[in-house]
Amino acid sequence: MPRPISEESANDDEFDELGVRLCTRLPEGFPDAWRDLQLSIAVGLIFTEWNGINRAFFNFYAVSSVEEAVATMTRDDSSFLIYQFFVDGACPAFEWDADWPLWRRRDSPLVKRPLTQGAEPWTWHADRTLFDIRREPLSPYTGRLYLRVGGRSQEAATRIWGQCATALRGLYRKSAGKLRTPLPSDHYSRPND
């Protein structure tokens, strides 16, 4: 579904809208205050020496829900994708980021939220991301899932990270379960039985 572009967003006039779609309502488990917001989802790629990008990438990996993002990352565990969830035209007042592996907490301390680079290397803007999920490369073929969540304080970032991580873990388990569908029972029978 095409996404209307807000004139009030600092970043919209400086980056291509490839791979950005409106997001359906966040599922149960995410912060209630976020569930009523009209979010957008942007897809990106973590560049390595093993991959590249073109316009078709954005069409192929663009999604419209958290569930679709999780299903895509579950299905394709060798693409180092990043899905950013944000409100168009707004920058959250987050001072801290909790950025840890999805399956275990506290790999590193919380960090002050940095500015994001604009279209030119010398321009910087406030980060408009509420949360993102990504696969950080460990090798050319595998990576580790990370969740980055912002908060106004260190305590808030930690609490919200835990809340989002619990919801996302449930979605990942559900999505992975769909990939492991059992074979039909006649698959195991011998041809002459």
> What pLDDT digit, counting tens, does each position of 67-126 carry?
999 999 888 877 889 999 998 878 888 999 999 999 886 767 888 988 887 777 888 888
Query: Crossing angle for the helix pair 66-75 and 154-179, nearest 10 degrees?
Result: 60
HSE at residue 38, side-chain half, CA atoms within 13 A, is 8
Q: 128: Cβ–Cβ under 8 A, 6 or more apart, which residues?
A: 9, 10, 11, 86, 87, 90, 91, 92
Q: Against a cut of 0.85, is the pTM above it?
A: no
pLDDT (average), residues 29-56: 86
pLDDT at 190: 39
pLDDT in tens, 18-42: 788 999 999 999 999 999 899 999 9
Nearest to 49 by CA among 144, 117, 139: 139
User: Which token pair is 150?
Assistant: 């912002």
pLDDT in tens, 125-163: 888 899 999 998 888 888 899 999 999 999 999 999 999
158 φ, ψ to 5°? -65, -45
Band (pLDDT 50/70/90 cuts) for residue 191 is very low
pLDDT at 46: 83
Which residues pair with residue 123 across a beta bridge? none
Per the listing, tokens 């899932």 go with 145
